[in-house]
Amino acid sequence: MYYIVRCPKCGAIQATTSSSELKCKGCGASSAMRREGQWSVEILAEVPDARTAGFMVRKLKMMEAAKK
């Protein structure tokens, strides 16, 4: 399972397979994925494979860029 997440520090969107810690590729910050059983990062989507994860990340980034 791949999670498409938004970094709580800088807002960068990326895919990860980890359910415990996120190391942001944008700003380098590390964040716990869950705290006390609750998600502490914004989960944008859950997808089954890497190909779909890459597609979703690109699509979400394009949608954000179009808003600006």
Instruction: Write out pLDDT tens, residues 9-40.
Output: 999 999 999 989 999 999 999 999 988 888 88
Indicate the pLDDT class of residue 45, thresholds 50, 70 and 90.
Answer: very high
- Report CA dihedral (18, 63, 66, 22) to the nearest 10 degrees: -10
Domain residues for the domain of 24 are 2-67
Task: Look up the pTM and report it.
Answer: 0.87
Average pLDDT over residues 54-63: 96
Whether 68 has a pLDDT exceeding 80, the answer reads no
Query: Percentage of the chain surpassing pLDDT 90?
Result: 81
| Number of domains present in the structure of the chain | 1
Distance CA 15, CA 43 (A): 10
φ, ψ dihedrals at 45, nearest 5°: -165, 160
User: What separation in angstroms does the CA of 27 have from each of 11, 12, 36?
Assistant: 9, 8, 25
